[in-house]
Amino acid sequence: MKRMNPGMAMVLALILGGCASQDQQLVISDFESFSPNVHCDKASDPEGMVDLEMVDSLMSKSRPYAALAQLQKAPQENQEYWSRYGRLLAETGDLSRAKTVFTVLRDECKSGEAYHGLGIVAMKQGDLSEAMDLFRYSVNALPASGKVRNDYGYALLVSGDYEKAQYHLRTALELQNGQGVARQNLAIAYILGGNERGIAMLKEQYGFKRSELERAERLASGFGVEL
The answer to whether 153 and 179 are in contact (CB under 8 A) is: no
The answer to whether 98 and 28 are in contact (CB under 8 A) is: no
CA distance 141 to 122: 18
The answer to whether 184 and 219 are in contact (CB under 8 A) is: yes
pLDDT over 70 (residue 32)? no
Residue type, 59: M
- Reported residue count of the chain is 227
Gyration radius from the chain CA atoms = 18
DSSP 165-184: HHHHHHHHHHHTTT-STHHH
Say whether domain 1-142 belongs to CATH 3.10.20.520: no
Backbone angles phi, psi at 148, to 5 degrees: -65, -45
β-bridge partners, 127? 3
| Confidence at 5, pLDDT banded by 50, 70, 90 | low
**pLDDT single digits (tens) 127-181:** 999 999 999 999 999 999 999 999 999 999 999 999 999 999 999 999 999 999 9
3-state percent helix, strand, coil for the chain, nearest multiple of 5: 75, 0, 25
Helix (H, G, I), strand (E, B) or coil at 3: strand
Does this model's pTM top 0.85? My answer is no
